[in-house]
Amino acid sequence: MPVSKATAVASPNIAFIKYWGNRYHSLRLPVNSSLSMNLGGLFTRTTVTFDPALAADAVVLDRAALSPEASRRVTEHLDRVRALANTATRAQVDSHNNFPTGAGIASSASGFAALTVAACAAAGLRLSERELSVLARQGSGSASRSIPAGFVEWQAGTNNDDSFAFSIAAPDHWALVDCIAIVSDEHKAVGSTGGHAIAHTSPLQTARIEDTLRRLGLCREALLARDFPRFAEVVEEDSTMMHAVMMTSRPPLYYWQPPTLAIMEAVRGWRAGGLPVCFTIDAGPNIHVITLAAHAAEIESRLRALPGVQNVLRAAPGGGAELLGS
Ligand code: DP6
């Protein structure tokens, strides 16, 4: 192919019903369906240039070379796109996050969503949103949810083609705000990919999976009805169930640090006092505090006053992955 280039942007997302564990690891077919919100204002912007002059793929993230592990994952993903486009041409990948990496926001979701959209366009492929979600999922499970806009459900499905994410409500459906409290920017010892691989070693994982449809149904209903009290209960329950699995895996994964627990307690107290607020935590010590736009300033200043909180980022519901004119 001649030199061919495209640029795409995608936002990370925060899961309200979590993805934890795969049925089929290499295809990232999850053990359970999940539900999330894209984080508007935060994004990864990625340019992919297929160039016949290149002997190997070259990947740059935020002006620095990627770790060998991250670089290999990108090359494997480009291989999927090359297979679909029937080409062997290598690519230059330039990626930039407008949010701090290592801040506890899953940059692999926005990263693989933007990479998928840019690489497919540069390779001349015209895929549907569903096909893009299927493809992004194979790079990083949560990336499947960063393809569609707003509030998104990823149905676990039964095979490669029916495990994809779709929008259940547009970004303007509900004025939720995610106030992300950063308590540590240290790199975690075991990331999501390693965690998914040992999730089945926890005796609690079976119970978590068996109960997923109940939690997912409750969360979807509360979200569509904009019922914050019901939403808050199920979001916290789902996050804590995933962490119970993590802490009882072999080896055990403890992501919480003392400030994480202090914030959980504070948030529950604020809610008992009448504020619409709840928490959810991914594979790290930072904590996503979800509230309504009208209360975001108040919640942010309360979070900043807590010991151990280094910074607070705010995000409203965001759009889907998009191709930029290049
Ligand atoms: C705890 O999508 O980051 O954030 O597929 O290995 O890239 P890989 O894992 P990833 O896992 C996300 C785990 C989570 C929960 C969630 O986002 O649903």
In this predicted model, what pLDDT tens digit does every residue of 10-24 receive, in sequence order? 999 999 999 999 999
Q: Judge whether residue 29 has pLDDT over 60.
A: yes
pLDDT of residue 66: 78
pLDDT of residue 104: 61
pLDDT of residue 88: 97
From 93, 119, 118, 96, select the one nearest 107 (Cα to Cα): 96
H/E stretch holding 207 reads helix 205-210
pLDDT of residue 103: 56
Give per-residue pLDDT as tens, 130-186: 999 999 999 999 999 999 999 999 999 999 999 999 999 999 999 999 999 999 877
Verify that 12 and 147 share a domain, yes or no: yes
Q: Judge whether residue 118 has pLDDT over 80.
A: yes
Q: Encoding tokens for residue 285?
A: 């010590």
Q: Judge whether residue 205 has pLDDT over 90.
A: yes
Please name the residue whose Cα sits nearest to atom 6 of ligand 1. 193
pLDDT band at 285, cuts 50/70/90? Answer: very high
Give per-residue pLDDT as tens, 220-269: 999 999 999 999 999 999 999 999 999 999 999 999 999 999 999 999 99
pLDDT of residue 35: 98
Question: Which atom of ligand 1 is closest in space to residue 109's alpha carbon?
Answer: 2
Verify that 165 and 177 share a domain, yes or no: no
Question: How much is the mean pLDDT over the chain?
Answer: 95
Give per-residue pLDDT as tens, 81-113: 999 999 999 999 999 999 877 656 768 999 999
Verify that 75 and 188 share a domain, yes or no: no
The alpha carbon dihedral of 136, 142, 143, 149 has a sign of positive
Verify that 162 and 219 share a domain, yes or no: no
Q: Rounded CA gap, 132 and 270, in Å? A: 40
Please name the residue whose Cα sits nearest to atom 4 of ligand 1. 282
Verify that 105 and 213 share a domain, yes or no: no
Q: With a 6 A CB cut-off, is 106 part of the ligand 1 pocket?
A: yes
Q: Rounded CA gap, 158 and 154, in Å? A: 12
- The CATH number assigned to the domain holding 124 equals 3.30.230.10
Q: With a 6 A CB cut-off, is 260 part of the ligand 1 pocket?
A: no
Average pLDDT over residues 21-35: 97
pTM, two decimal places:
0.97
Last residue of a domain, one of 143, 170, 197: 170
Last residue of a domain, one of 170, 189, 207: 170
Q: With a 6 A CB cut-off, is 248 part of the ligand 1 pocket?
A: no
Mutation choice for ligand 1 from 18, 142, 145, CB with most ligand atoms inside 8 A: 142
pLDDT of residue 149: 98
pLDDT of residue 102: 60
Average pLDDT over residues 121-127: 97
Q: With a 6 A CB cut-off, is 138 part of the ligand 1 pocket?
A: no
Question: Is residue 324 a part of any domain in this protein?
Answer: no
Residues of the chain above pLDDT 90, percent: 90
- The CATH number assigned to the domain holding 178 equals 3.30.70.890
pLDDT band at 326, cuts 50/70/90? Answer: low
As for how many domains the chain has, the answer is 2
Q: Rounded CA gap, 149 and 182, in Å? A: 25
Q: With a 6 A CB cut-off, is 163 part of the ligand 1 pocket?
A: no
Residue 73 lies in domain: 4-170
Question: Is residue 17 a part of any domain in this protein?
Answer: yes
Verify that 208 and 140 share a domain, yes or no: no
Average pLDDT over residues 194-207: 97
Going from the Cα of 193 to the center of ligand 1, the distance in angstroms, rounded, reads 7
Verify that 162 and 182 share a domain, yes or no: no
Verify that 179 and 166 share a domain, yes or no: no
The upper half-sphere exposure of residue 198, i.e. CA atoms within 13 Å in the direction of its Cβ, equals 15
Q: With a 6 A CB cut-off, is 283 part of the ligand 1 pocket?
A: yes
Q: With a 6 A CB cut-off, is 113 part of the ligand 1 pocket?
A: no
Verify that 101 and 184 share a domain, yes or no: no
Question: Which atom of ligand 1 is closest in space to residue 283's alpha carbon?
Answer: 1
Verify that 84 and 48 share a domain, yes or no: yes
Q: With a 6 A CB cut-off, is 108 part of the ligand 1 pocket?
A: yes
Verify that 181 and 138 share a domain, yes or no: no
Last residue of a domain, one of 170, 185, 215: 170
pLDDT of residue 107: 81
Please name the residue whose Cα sits nearest to atom 7 of ligand 1. 140
Going from the Cα of 192 to the center of ligand 1, the distance in angstroms, rounded, reads 5
